Amino acid sequence: MSSIKSLLRPVAKIRNAALAIALKPRIHSRGMSLATVCEPLDGLGDEEAEIYSMARAFADKEMAPHAQEWDEKEVFPVGVMRQAASLGFGAMYCDPTYGGTGLSRLAASVVFEALSTADPSTAAFISIHNMVAWMISVYGTEEQKTKYLPSLSTMEKFGSYCLTEPNAGSDAASLQTTAKREGNEYYTLNGSKMFISGGGDSDVYLVMCRTGGPGPKGISCVLVEKGTPGLSFGQKERKLGWNSQPTRAIMFDDCRVPVSNLIGTEGQGFNIAMHGLNGGRVNIASCSLGGASAALEQTVDYVKVRKQFSTPIASFQNTQFELAEMAIKVNSSRLMVRTAAKMLDEKHPLAAAWCAQAKVHATDSCYEVCDRALQLHGGYGYIKSTKVQQYLRDLRVHKILEGTNEVMKVIISREILKD
């Protein structure tokens, strides 16, 4: 017995010494503030920095206090979104002639990043609404722009984007909602759309439907207003996250829409939809960025305060390495998202492939950041009184919508393998 004890004594000594070093508080009172290594304002020009600061102030004050309630009670925060619109967030990168703000895609990305620190779900809906307004502002006629853009830019009316169907998700070009032209007056729409953000609450629906033959070239983009006879909505879906936005199926049952509601030309619908999505991908990726950076900020605060073994858990190397990895993920995502945004602004020929890359990287990495943030909060991370779980739930769907990350890889690899 004693021989074993004497064997173990040195081991115990080493172990105690190691523990003493490991557990000694190693946090400088200043520490490496998140601000210096993971700063959203870095690399931004004066104007974009001012825009971020303003959007962040709005998010902190008007959205953050309510985000949890909106999630739990599934509230669609119309009032706050209209307030955001009054500051110019309703049609950010649309022509000012019709009420848009005329911002660059980079500036818009920065806005969505700021708003998502408070509530990625609401920020994402604002981004979808912006995408719809943009499609009308680029492909619409004078009459259409005059008729719809002003009220979209103030968010007096909300816009929804309708591409996905029960049987057409990634294979979007196989969509089956038909629009039969009757003379020169009406299209008659028949079919259904699935998972429509804002469905049932929005007033303006951009519907990708089949006016011609099979495949992408037979698809057109038609604007349908709420209240049109033959337009009905399914039940509001109960979702894991994105609960501040209603999501519904939409049914068209001999729904007659004036031919003057065609956006662009017949057969152009798929192109319009895809162009909308390029920017949409940067926006969704920006929403992931904001959520992840907020989750990281909150985690840094938590680990400095939470003590175990008589010391803040921030002094454990595992915690430190996790934080470093999270910062790297947020920073690399941010760089890719902003690069893609700039490429859209410059109309770079590779912009679409870059938007896809940025979307995959940011949505995947930022989700991981939220997951690690939750883990670092321990049990507290799992309960709803901590916000970290909401970021995780909200960000999860960003890997799926606006083109799954798998489809993004199709787009990217296609570009790589081009001759």
2/29 with CB nearer another protein = 29
The amino acid present at 358, given as its one-letter code, is A
Give least dist CB 90 to another protein, A: 10
36/385 with CB nearer another protein = 36
Give least dist CB 27 to another protein, A: 12
58/161 with CB nearer another protein = 58
Give least dist CB 128 to another protein, A: 19
Of 128, 107, 91, nearest to 338 by C-alpha is: 107
Give least dist CB 190 to another protein, A: 41
92/356 with CB nearer another protein = 92
Phi and psi at residue 73, to the nearest 5°: -95, 5
Q: How many of the other CB atoms lie within 10 Å of CB of 147?
A: 17
Distances 221 to 132, 161, 208, 276 between C-alpha atoms, Å = 11, 10, 5, 12
Of 252, 259, 254, nearest to 186 by C-alpha is: 259
Give least dist CB 304 to another protein, A: 10
36/184 with CB nearer another protein = 36
Give least dist CB 314 to another protein, A: 15
Give least dist CB 330 to another protein, A: 17
Distance from C-alpha of 390 to C-alpha of 384, rounded to nearest angstrom: 8
Handedness of CA 283, 287, 293, 294 (dihedral sign): positive
Active site residue 185: no
Interface ranges with another protein (CB under 8 A): 29-30, 33, 35-36, 46-47, 49-51, 53-54, 57-58, 86-89, 92, 96, 101-103, 111
Catalytically annotated residue among 72, 322, 402, 415: 402
Ramachandran assignment for 204, one of left (phi > 0), alpha (psi -120 to 50 degrees), beta (any other): beta
Give least dist CB 87 to another protein, A: 5
Tallying the residues shown for the chain, one arrives at 419
205/302 with CB nearer another protein = 302
103/295 with CB nearer another protein = 103
92/287 with CB nearer another protein = 92
The amino acid present at 31, given as its one-letter code, is G
Active-site residues: which are they? 402
